[in-house]
């Protein structure tokens, strides 16, 4: 074989090798891309799972917080009901005491009126006694 033929054959091989190299390059690139996609899918699945676990944990926390808040509200409602009952009871007692006070005042005013009447009568008697004593002195 002569040099010219070898060069031609070399040129043909190079021309045929280029598409072969390009095809191999794209195959390798596709394989790498597939591996990277698989890796990213695994990472995404792991991230989603962690997020779900975190949501479940937060959901439990929210549920616990909600439950604690509901217990506090129930406690406050009970306390409010108790205070309302206490206020009603105290208002009833106050009303009763006011009625008793009004009755007692009326009774005391009546007693005062009676005592004042007695005092006036006694003063009149004393005045009559003075007049009697003066007359007695005059006649003696």
* Virtual torsion, Cα 122, 128, 133, 137, nearest 10 deg: 170
The C-alpha angle 38, 40, 43, rounded to 5 degrees, equals: 110
CA distances in angstroms from 67 to 53, 74, 79, listed in the order given: 20, 10, 18
pLDDT for position 122: 95
Residue 21 in this model has a pLDDT that exceeds 70: no
Q: Is 2 helix (H, G, I), strand (E, B) or coil?
A: coil
DSSP codes joined into one string, 27-91: HHHHHHHHHHHHHHHHHHHHHHHHHHHHHHHHHHHHHHHHHHHHHHHHHHHHHHHHHHHHHHHHH
Nearest partner of 25 among 35, 17, 36, judged by Cα: 17
Query: pLDDT tens, 26-81?
Result: 788 777 878 888 888 888 888 888 877 776 766 556 677 778 888 888 888 989 98
Query: pLDDT tens, 110-136?
Result: 999 999 999 999 999 999 999 888 888
CA distance 113 to 119: 10
**Mean pLDDT value of segment 15-25:** 63
Segments making up each domain of the chain, as ranges: 1-99
Q: Would you state the structure tokens that stand for residue 68, as one six-digit string?
A: 């604690």
Query: pLDDT tens, 69-85?
Result: 888 888 889 899 899 99
């Amino acid at each position: 074989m002569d040099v010219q033929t070898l060069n031609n054959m070399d040129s043909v091989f190079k021309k045929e090798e280029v598409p072969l190299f390009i095809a191999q390059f794209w195959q390798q690139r596709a394989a790498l891309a597939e591996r990277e996609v698989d890796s990213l899918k695994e990472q995404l699945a792991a991230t989603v799972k962690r997020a779900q676990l975190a949501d479940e944990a937060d959901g439990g926390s929210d549920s616990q917080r909600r439950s604690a808040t509901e217990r506090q509200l129930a406690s406050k409602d009970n306390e409010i009901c108790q205070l309302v009952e206490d206020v009603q009871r105290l208002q009833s007692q106050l009303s009763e005491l006011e009625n008793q006070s009004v009755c007692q005042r009326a009774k005391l005013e009546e007693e005062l009126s009676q005592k004042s009447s007695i005092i006036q009568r006694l003063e009149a008697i004393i005045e009559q006694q003075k007049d009697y004593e003066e007359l007695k002195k005059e006649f003696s």
